[in-house]
Structure 1
Amino acid sequence: MGYEWLALAAAFLWAISSLISVHPARHLGPFSYSRWRMGCTAVMLTAMAAMIGGWGTVNASHILPMVLSGFIGIFIGDTALFACMNRMGPRQAGLLFSCHALFSAILGYWIFSETWQLAELIGALLVFSGVVTAIFFGRKGASNNDWEALHGKLAIGLSLGLLAALCQALGGIIAKPVMQTDVSPIAASAIRMITAFAAHSLFWLSGAKLAKSQQPITAKIFSITALNGFIAMAVGMTLILYALQQGNVGMVALLSSTTPIMVLPLLWLITKQRPNKYAWFGAILAVIGTGLIVS
C-alpha cells in the first residue's frame, strides 16, 4: 500500500475517533481524557512491538527524537486538540487542526527541501481548498446542536486548535529522520505514546487542577476511551509513521488533513442534518485533489 493510502486510512480512523471522543472528553476533561487514552494506547503498542520484535530495531539514536516527537505532537498537541473540541465541537476543531498540513508543508520545504510535482501541487491546493470550504462554510443553513455550539471564548478555542495543528506538524517533522531508518513504526509509535503518558502522569502527580478528572471515570467511559486510543493512536498514528517512511512530510500531512471531510457524512448519520451545498462542493474538490495526488 502506498503512503498516500496509508495517510488517507489514518484520516478516516481519526474521523471516527473524533466523534466517539466527544462524550468521554467532555466527561473527563481534556487532560484526564488524554491521560487515560495515552495510557491504554501505550500498553497496546508496547505489547504489539514486543510481539513482532519491533524493539530490536530501536537504537539509542532513535529514542530522543521520538521522545520529543511524542511530547510535542501528542502530549501538547493532542491535549490542545481535545480542549479545542470541547469548546468548538469536532467539525470546527477539525478545520483548525487541518492547518497542520500547511505548517508541515512549509517546515518540510524549509528543513528537508521537499518539493512537489505540478500535479501534486494542484491536487494539494484542491484538497486544502476543499477542506476549508466544507468545514468553514459547512455550517450555513444548519440548525444548532450541542456539537456545533461554542463553549467559552472563541479566541481561546482558535488558539488551542492552531496550537494542536502546529504541534502535530512539529511532531511529524521531528519523527521523519528516524522513520527513514529501519526502525519499526510500531515501536517508534510506542515510544511516542509512552512519553505522552509519562508527561500526563507527572502533570497529574503534581496535583494541578487541570489534570484532575471533571467527573469520575466509569466502565463505559473507559471502554470508549480505550477503543478510541486503539483506533486513532495504536492504528491511525502508526499508519502515519509508516507513511512517513515513504512520503514527504507535507504530502502525508495534507492527505491526513482530509479528516474533516470524512467527518461530514458521519455527522450526518449522527445528527440527522444533511451537509449543505458548500460541504458537498468542498468534498468534491478534496476528492478530485486526492485523486490527482494518489494517481
Structure 2
Amino acid sequence: MIQSHLGEIYSFITAICWTVTAVAFELAGKKIGSLSVNYIRLIIGFILISLITTFSRGMVLPLDASSHQWVWLSISGFIGFVIGDLFLFQSFLEIGSRISMLIMALVPPITALLGFLTMREMITLSDFFGMVITIVGIFVVVLVKNPEGNKFELSRSIKGIAYAFIGALGQSSGLVLSKIGMGSYNPFAATQIRIIAGMIGFTIVFMFMKGWDKLKVDIKNKEAFKPLFWGTLFGPVLGVTFSLLAVQHTTTGVSSTITSISPVLIIPFSIYVFKDKVSPKEIFGAIISVIGISILFIL
C-alpha cells in the first residue's frame, strides 16, 4: 500500500518542507530582504547538498551526470529557482503575499497540462477531482479579509498578477523539466545541478542590480543566519530533493497539487511563530484540502 503511494507521500513531505522553509525565510527576509535570502540560501544549499552527496555517493560534484541531465536540470534550476522565485517575490511587493499564493495555486493545473503536453502523462478522473478539491481548500484559506479593513487582500494591479502568474509558470515548468532531465538519476545530485544553475542565475541578477555591497553586509547578519540555515535545509535541499523523488513515483500534476497545500499547513506555524489568529474559514479550508489529498491517496 505504501509502495504504491510513494509519490504522494514524498509530495506531502515536500509540502511540510516548504512550510518550514517559508516560515524560516520570512523570519530571515525581515532581517536582510528577500533577494539576499534567495541568493544566500542557494549558497548554503549547495554546501549542504555537496556534503550529502559526498557521504551518500562518494562524489562532491555530479560528475557522473550525462550531458542530457546537465542541460535539462540546469534549465529547470534556472527557470524554477531564478525566474520563478524572482517574479514570485516581486509579486509579493506588488499585490501582497496572499493573492500571490492564490495565483500560485495555479501551479498544479499548469503542471498537469505541461506534463500531458510534454510527457503524455494521463490524469484520471479521481486525480482531477482530488486536485480540484485541494485547490478549492487552498482558495478558501488564502482568500481572507484584511485584518485592518473589510476588504479581501486583493489588488487590481495587472503587473502584480502577471508577476505571480510567471512565478507559477516558472515553478511548473521547472518541475516538468526536472522530470524530463532526471529520469532515474540520483535526486540529490539532480538537486545539486539545479542549485548550481540557480546560483549562476542569481549571480547574473546581482551583477545587473549591482547588489554586491548589500549582499556582503547581509551575509554577516548573525540574526538572519539561523532561520536562513534551517530554511535552506528544508527548502533547496530536502524540499527540492523530495519533490524530485515525488515526480519519480507519481505524475507531476498530482505531486504539484499535494505540495501546493503549504498555505494550509502553515496555519499552525503562523499561530505558534507569528501569533496569528486563525478564523473558522481557514480551518474549513484546511479540512477541504485534507479531503482533496485523501482522494489522491485512496482513489
Give yes or no for TM over 0.5: yes
- State the Cα distance separating 1:86 from its structure 2 match: 5.0
Question: Structure 1 residues 207 and 127 mapped into 2: Cα distance closer, same or farther (>3 Å)?
Answer: closer
SS of corresponding position for 1:213: helix
Match of 1:45 among 25, 42, 49: 49
Q: Which runs of 5+ in 2 are unaligned?
A: none
Matched, 1:16 2:30: no
What is the deviation of 1:283?
1.3
Structure 2 partner of 1:237: 240
1:40-119 alignment, distance < 5 Å? 40-53=44-57, 55=62, 57-86=64-93, 90-119=97-126
Cα deviation 1:149-190 (Å, max 9, x = unaligned): 89x984443333222111000001111123323x10000000
| Per-residue deviation, 1:91 | 4.2
Matches within 5 A, 1:128-167: 128-136=135-143, 139-140=144-145, 143-144=147-148, 154-167=157-170
Letter of the structure 1 residue corresponding to residue 203 of structure 2: S
Gaps of 5+ in 1: none
Give TM-score scaled by structure 2 length.
Answer: 0.86
Instruction: Output the CA distance in 2 between the equivalents of 1:79 and 1:122.
Output: 31
Please report how far the alpha carbon of residue 273 of structure 1 lies from its aligned counterpart in structure 2 after TM superposition: 3.7
Check the 8 A contact 2:73/2:182 in 1, yes or no: no
SS across alignment from 1:25: helix
- Structure-1 residue corresponding to 2:200: 198
Report deviation, 1:287.
0.6
Give the SS at the match of 1:216. helix
CA contact (8 A) 2:99 2:153 kept: no
User: How far is 1:245 from its partner?
Assistant: 0.8
Identity score, percent: 21
Q: Deviations over 1:119-162 (max 9, x none)?
A: 222211111111112111xx23x6249xx989x98444333322
Distance between the aligned counterparts of 1:265 and 1:233, measured in 2?
A: 22
Opposite residue 280 of structure 1, the aligned amino acid is I
Greater CA drift, 261-270 or 33-42: 261-270
Secondary structure in 2 aligned to 1:240? helix
Separation of aligned partners in 1, 2:179 and 2:267: 30
Q: Which amino acid aligns with 2:40?
A: W
Distance 1:25 1:272, change over 3 A: closer
Root-mean-square deviation over aligned CA pairs? 2.6
Pair 1:287–1:207, CA change in 2 (3 A): closer
Could you tell me which amino acid in structure 2 is paired with residue 186 of structure 1? F
Letter in 1 for 2:53: A
Q: In the alignment, is the contact (CA less than 8 A) between 1:25 and 1:33 conserved in 2?
A: yes
Partners in 1 of 2:292 and 2:119 — Cα distance? 24
The amino acid that maps onto 1:73 is G
What SS class does the counterpart of residue 70 from structure 2 fall into? helix
Going from structure 1 to structure 2, the CA distance change for 1:212 and 1:102 (only over 3 Å counts) comes to: farther
1:170 aligned to 173, 185, 197, which one? Answer: 173
Measure the CA separation in 2 of the matches of 1:51 and 1:271. 37
2:133, 2:292 within 8 Å by CA — same for their partners in 1?
yes
> Which position in structure 2 is the counterpart of 1:285?
288
TM-score w.r.t. the length of structure 1 is: 0.87
1:189 counterpart residue number: 191
Q: Is the 8 A contact 1:126 1:286 kept in 2?
A: yes
Distance 2:277 2:33 in 1: 29
Q: Which moved more, 1:27-36 or 1:224-233?
A: 27-36
**C-alpha distance in structure 1 between counterparts of 2:289 and 2:147, whole Å:** 25
- Cα separation, 2, equivalents of 1:254 and 1:165: 12
8 Å contact kept, 1:103–1:166: yes
